[in-house]
Structure 1
Amino acid sequence: MKDHPSSHTTLSAMDERSRLIFREIVDAYLETGDPVGSRTISRRGISLSPASIRNVMADLAELGLLDSPHSSAGRMPTHQGLRLFVDGLMEVKRMKLPPADKRRIQQRLSAAQGRPPEDFLGEASEMLSGLVGGAGLVASPKSNASAVKHVEFVSIGPSQALAIIVSEDEDVENRLLNVPVGMPVSALQEASNYLNARMRGRTLAEVRKDVLTEIRDKKAQLDETASSLVEAGLAHWTGEDPDRGRSLIIRGRANLLGDDQLAEDINKVRDLFSYLDKTESLIKVLDEARDAEGVRLFIGAENKLFSLSGSSVIVAPYMNSDRKVVGALGVIGPTRLNYARVIPMVDYTAQVVGRLLNGGPAEEIEDKR
């Protein structure tokens, strides 16, 4: 997980006493969800008077790390404060998932292995929702993320052809193409041979640009009819939108209604449910995990999609057998999630999902952090 530069700057401005009190405040808040007062901190083993603790809390508030919902209430961490806690004080890289949680994830997902991908991924989303107490999110793999095994153009009428692509995962995708009346079978075969020679073992995303460049620069050694067919096939298989045909699987929305932090403001829940219905935008949030080394965490306003609802999103990518990111999964919940437990849980689940989708056994997976 990548640190935010601002976290290091703020942390360096805090002395050891401030760090200790800040950690205790965040721990207490994550346990209860309630604002934390100075007396609560003094009872947690801090050898300072409540007055001294209040002075430190005031300093932390000036740094933007704490806020008070009411003038008479205690303090609670801001989104900036939670980010500092996760990046600077929680030692994410050292966290390990307990063996019992690993076994639970392995057993649940192994039992679903072999089911249709949508059912399997739905089980993963359902499992995360139940384990974390938030909503589970899974973006299905990109259709052009698997390597190609075979390509073929088949005539099905005077002016139509079927473009067939078979992936190494044995998925078959068909697209109906309009072709010039009377297109010879030789042109269909020529286009098929050309693409098979260049695409076998590579993904559509990898080969598309190279093929189109060859055709544009007249280096493809294809006649005009076959070139047009190749271009049409690529356009239909990949589409202008790389996310076309992908699905977003959400389970556990009811958990969000049952959370006190969100339920106390019904407008936040409405906003959140509205965002969860924006499939395209949410898939893009999940796909941001592909640019990270492992887990990505968005706290509140750090992502525009969830800025108003005040939610946290924890996302991790899952990969194919070639170690290429093909999809992502995660959870969404209130900002007072138990990050120390949820982050490694999402990370490990992504590892298991990737391995099982590729036909491997879950039991061989080790926690890589």
Structure 2
Amino acid sequence: MAHFDDTLLGDMNARSREVFRQIVDAYVETGEPIGSRSIARRMSENLSAATIRNVMSDLEEMGLLVAPHISAGRLPSEKGLRLFVNALMEVGDLPNAERDQLTKNCEQAGYSLDQMLGEATSMLSGLSRCAGLVVAPKTDGIRLKQIEFVALSPGKVLAVLVSQNGSVENRILDVPVDLPASALTEAANYLNTRLAGKTLDDARVLITQERDRLKQELDELSATLIDAGLATWAGGIKGSSLIVKGQSQLLENIDTIEQLETVRRLFNVLEARDQMIELLDVTTDAQGVQIFIGSENKLFGGSGLSMVISPYQNAEGSIVGAIGVVGPTRINYARIIPLVDYTAKLVGRLIG
């Protein structure tokens, strides 16, 4: 996340700060350039349009405003938005109603970690009117909690593997049609006794080392079931996964071709999932909410996009993922920052 130049703030008097604040507020509301006459009507202080034009000219020279067209009003630049976010913005608390709504929906989302993260992302998208996204915990080094095998039909068994971080992995296995129910129980008991609390890598090594003794202790069908169940789960491990919800939020209130082009570029960015995961992984190096505005990140360069993101922790206090929103640079930072912050802490608590 970029930092602003302290000298810029020192060069602004109370009048220029208020004019600048009004320009940013108008930009967040409309996304359109604003002129001196419109600013004059918004100001509590009685200033002439000419005076405001002079202030706007000074702000433009400082690099805080830009003029998209010769005769148009002014917009805050990325530099200006960064100064506003870091030094002038007032961030309030998340309303209790939204806290309760987020908590209730996430707690009721289901036992699966992916279900809970999906619901949290959808809620975040809806409340922020941006695209919500989350990086699910990496599966490297996760520890097993419980393993069960459930008969579905002749020749089909569901393997359910639950990790200590709350993730649930379900896989359907092909087994002999005459597999008895006792083999399912034996296989689950064997694994739960020996593998609970171990990582998946540890479990694979242990099973490989004990393969011969396993075949002596259990019948061949149970041994085959254990091998198949463990191998199937291990085969599904792919590291971090990215969940994106609410792209349709970004299509609302599209008034111009320029806005539509911005959203099109956003969709292209979201489709680059590997790059997005790398970007979100940056948040694991820092605590709290991180804000990326426009070209501050190379992935967003020239796209007119911003991202507000926060890491979340597991019960051991380790950062295991990140959750946040991405949208046009005119997102309502003052509202979205506490929303993202609370959601990340909620996800961490539910994982714990």
Shift in Å at residue 263 of structure 1? 5.4
The one-letter code of the counterpart of 2:94 is L
- Which residue pairs with 2:9 in the alignment? 11
Contact 1:144–1:238 (Cα < 8 Å) also in 2? no
TM-score, normalised to structure 1, is 0.69
- Which residue pairs with 1:351 in the alignment? 345
- Which residue pairs with 1:30 in the alignment? 28
Shift in Å at residue 48 of structure 1? 1.6
Contact 2:130–2:247 (Cα < 8 Å) also in 1? yes
The partner residue of 1:248 within 225, 242, 252 is: 242
Q: Deviations over 1:2-42 (max 9, x none)?
A: 7x443323112212221111111111221222211111121
Q: Deviations over 1:246-278 (max 9, x none)?
A: 221111112222243785354433322121111
2:75, 2:255 → 1: CA distance?
Answer: 12
- Which residue pairs with 1:89 in the alignment? 88
- Which residue pairs with 2:68 in the alignment? 69
The partner residue of 1:306 within 297, 300, 308 is: 300
Distance 1:41 1:146, change over 3 A: same
The partner residue of 2:116 within 110, 115, 120 is: 120
Map 1:125-136 → 2, pairs under 5 A: 125-136=121-132
Superposition RMSD in Å: 3.2
TM-score, normalised to structure 2, is 0.72
Runs of 4+ in 1 over 6 A off after TM superposition: 199-205
Contact 1:147–1:167 (Cα < 8 Å) also in 2? yes
2:168, 2:98 → 1: CA distance?
Answer: 36
Secondary structure of the structure 1 residue equivalent to 2:116: helix
Shift in Å at residue 323 of structure 1? 1.3
Secondary structure of the structure 2 residue equivalent to 1:96: coil
1:350, 1:170 → 2: CA distance?
Answer: 16
The one-letter code of the counterpart of 2:342 is Y
2:52, 2:10 → 1: CA distance?
Answer: 20
Shift in Å at residue 115 of structure 1? 3.0
Contact 2:131–2:245 (Cα < 8 Å) also in 1? yes
The partner residue of 1:333 within 327, 331, 334 is: 327
Q: Does 1:99 align with 2:99?
A: no
- Which residue pairs with 1:139 in the alignment? 135
Distance 1:265 1:31, change over 3 A: closer
1:204, 1:10 → 2: CA distance?
Answer: 53
Shift in Å at residue 145 of structure 1? 5.6
Distance 1:118 1:42, change over 3 A: same
Distance 1:22 1:264, change over 3 A: same
Contact 1:259–1:334 (Cα < 8 Å) also in 2? no
1:244, 1:263 → 2: CA distance?
Answer: 39
Q: Deviations over 1:285-328 (max 9, x none)?
A: 11222222200111111111111221111101111011111011
Contact 1:261–1:334 (Cα < 8 Å) also in 2? no
Contact 2:312–2:321 (Cα < 8 Å) also in 1? yes
Contact 1:310–1:334 (Cα < 8 Å) also in 2? yes
% identical equivalent positions: 51
Secondary structure of the structure 2 residue equivalent to 1:260: coil
Map 1:283-302 → 2, pairs under 5 A: 283-302=277-296
1:118, 1:173 → 2: CA distance?
Answer: 9
Q: Which runs of 5+ in 2 are unaligned?
A: 147-160, 171-193, 203-232
- Which residue pairs with 2:184 in the alignment? none
1:299, 1:54 → 2: CA distance?
Answer: 26
Contact 2:138–2:241 (Cα < 8 Å) also in 1? no
Give the length in aligned residue pairs: 286
Distance 1:248 1:5, change over 3 A: closer
